Amino acid sequence: MRIFEATKSLPADLRAVLEDIKAAIDGRAAADRAAVANRDAIAAGGLRIAELETLSVERDVEAVKAEARASADADLKTEATKAAKAADKANAELADARRTHERRIGAVELLNNETRSIDAAIADLKKRLIAAMTGYRKQVRVALNEDLLEVCPALIPVIQVAMAVDAQIPDGGFARDWLDCAKLISPIDYRSDHLQHHVRVHGTDLLASQDPLPTLPISATTVLQELAAVSGALKRHKPFVPPKPSPPAAAEQPPLTKRELEERARNQAEQEAYDRWDDARAARTQREQTPEERRRWTLDVRYPGTSAPAASQNRARAAASPAVLGARSLDGDGSVLDEYRWLDEAQPGSSHRGDA
């Protein structure tokens, strides 16, 4: 496989940056060890200096005492010389310890700067590694793409035949969703969309083909056409609906007689006249009354237990004999319209009483 060969051979720039990273990491580890050792030496040096200071003071005291005794006794001169040498040695050791301690304290900042410098170098090496890894990944992807191109020619006819069969099977094929996703995207220059809990990859489909779909065998075509015919018949099938009965023929009505026609015309004329009278009455009711009309209305009102109003017009009409009133009623045709007309003429204000 080409992908194995591409994996084993690292590009020169990637190999160089790997070596630099290893050296930087080793240098950082050595710097850390040196900083820890210097820290421990400073702590131990402080304790040693304290011990040497005590010892130096003791040796100086012993030397002073020995020299004082030797000044009185010549035989003690040798002991005084030894005590003086011991005091000088203690003072020299104390001085050396102090100089060493000062050097260690001064080395702290140097070691810290060295560690910071190594950290900055490692940060730059990380960027170099990312750039070098980009080229390495591309090298591996190219090798993978070449390996895929060798096996795709055997898969493309299978996918084409599956698509041809799927197109002939009614009601969504046999694996249409799978065929829609059956793509082998080239690892070179692909794009990826990171959706919620899903990653979609776009690029060149190595299984795509511009050739037309293959023709199915006659036996398969016959079976699939039968399935399509039955499926289409089921889609066109409609449930049974009982036919509605025909409406019965309308019976012929016998023609109206002359008397029925006259009665219908008279009733219609009466209704129209009543409607006109009712409209006129409503108009008079809505019209604002004059003071004279309100006075006459008050005179015409009769309260329970009182005598009939004695208005001049009412007295004149009351003086008329029943024969005269009957004659007025007989002047008409005896219809309801004639009664309304007589009431309106003989009794002014009757429309107001009718409203009441």
Q: What is the CA radius of gyration of the chain?
A: 65
Question: What is the spatial distance between Cα 63 and Cα 83, in angstroms, rounded to a whole number?
Answer: 5
DSSP-derived secondary structure for 148-176: HHHHHHHHHHHHHHHHHHHHHSTTTTTTH
Count of C-beta atoms within a 10 Å radius of residue 301: 12
The predicted pLDDT at position 305 comes to: 58
pLDDT score recorded for residue 29: 93
What is the torsional sign of CA 278, 279, 282, 284? Answer: negative
Percent of the chain beyond pLDDT 90?
30
Determine phi and psi for 185, rounding to 5 degrees.
-75, 135
Give tens-digit pLDDT for 34-64: 999 999 999 998 898 899 889 889 888 888 8
In Å, how far are 38, 165, 259, 260, 263 from 256, measured between CA atoms?
136, 78, 8, 6, 11
Write down the pLDDT at residue 356: 36
Note the pTM of the prediction, 2 decimals: 0.49
Dist CA 30 CA 66 (whole Å): 51
Concatenate the DSSP letters of all residues of 198-247 into one string.
Answer: EEEEES-BTT---SPPPPPPHHHHHHHHHHHHHHHHHHH-----PPPPPP
What DSSP character marks residue 191?
A: E
If you average pLDDT over residues 228-251, what whole number do you get? 84
Q: What is the largest CA-CA distance in the chain?
A: 195
Tokens of 128: 């170099």
Report pLDDT for 63. 87
Phi-psi region of 37 (alpha: psi -120 to 50; beta: other; left: phi over 0): alpha
Residue 270 predicted with pLDDT over 70: yes
Instruction: Identify the CA nearest to 49 among candidates 13, 98, 99.
Output: 98
What are the C-alpha distances in Å from 115 to residues 33, 52, 118? Answer: 11, 33, 5
| CA pair distance 24, 36, nearest whole angstrom | 18
Q: How many helices (H) and strands (E) does the chain have?
A: 11, 2
Residue of 5, 3, 18 whose CA lies nearest to 133: 18
33, 110 contact by CB (below 8 A): no
Residue 164: what pLDDT? 92
Could you tell me the two tokens for 222? 């016959």
Residues 74, 51: contact at Cβ < 8 Å?
no
Task: Determine the pLDDT at residue 335.
Answer: 56
| Cβ-contact 187, 195 below 8 angstroms | no
Tens of pLDDT along 67-102?
Answer: 888 887 777 788 888 888 888 888 998 899 899 999
The DSSP annotation for 243-303 comes to PPPPPPPPPPPPPPPHHHHHHHHHHHHHHHHHHHHHHHHHHHHHSPPPHHHHHHHHHH---
Mean pLDDT calculated for residue range 159-166: 93
What domains lie within the chain, and their CATH numbers? Answer: 2-151 (1.10.287.1490), 167-234 (no CATH), 259-355 (no CATH)
Q: Tens digits of per-residue pLDDT, 293-323?
A: 667 666 555 555 555 554 444 544 544 444 4
